[in-house]
């Protein structure tokens, strides 16, 4: 019985520990050299900051302070099989259009953003995306 309680406690604690990796005060900064779409909102090229907005980890704030814009994006938290030790933004690229798909944290936590309407339309045209990765850092 003690063993079952210990396992149950660990299972409950793991998601909270993962969510704490991108704490509401922790910000990830990346210099993105191209305009991109994050959850149906166009974000101009430049220095972008990604920050977790809610303690549940499901909402991210994406900002480009120089352009004076900010947007919220829903995400789904997942875990990579191995930790990369790097902070990265992963974009799906269709021709000249880029769509933010994932925010990867050094410990292996991955925040996955849903496809925008435009990305779904491009995928429906049987256009295969290419992944483009931009390195980021903790700010």
Domain boundaries, the chain: 2-138
- Please give the pLDDT value at position 87: 96
How many CB atoms are closer than 10 A to CB 33?
Answer: 10
Cα 47 from Cα 107, distance rounded (Å): 23
How confident is the prediction for the chain on average, in pLDDT? 83
What residue ranges of the chain have pLDDT lower than 70? 1-25, 57
Tens digits of per-residue pLDDT, 91-103?
999 999 999 999 9
Cα 59 from Cα 103, distance rounded (Å): 12
- Please give the pLDDT value at position 139: 81
Q: What is the pTM of this model?
A: 0.78
Distance, CA of 55 to chain centre: 15
Residues forming a β-bridge with 63: 49, 70
Short-list 135, 124, 100, CA closest to 114: 100
């Amino acid at each position: 019985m003690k063993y079952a309680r210990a396992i149950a406690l660990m299972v409950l604690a793991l998601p909270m520990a993962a969510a704490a990796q991108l704490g509401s005060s922790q910000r990830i900064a990346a210099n993105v050299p191209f305009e991109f779409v994050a959850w149906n909102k166009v974000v101009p090229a430049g220095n972008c900051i990604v920050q977790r907005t809610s303690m549940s980890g499901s909402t991210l704030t994406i900002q480009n302070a120089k352009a004076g814009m900010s947007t919220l994006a829903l995400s789904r938290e997942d875990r990579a099989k191995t930790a990369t030790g790097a902070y990265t933004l992963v974009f799906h690229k269709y021709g000249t259009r880029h769509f933010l798909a994932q925010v990867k944290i050094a410990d292996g936590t991955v925040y996955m953003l849903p496809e925008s309407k435009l990305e779904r339309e491009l995928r429906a045209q049987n256009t295969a995306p290419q992944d483009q990765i931009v390195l980021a850092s903790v700010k």
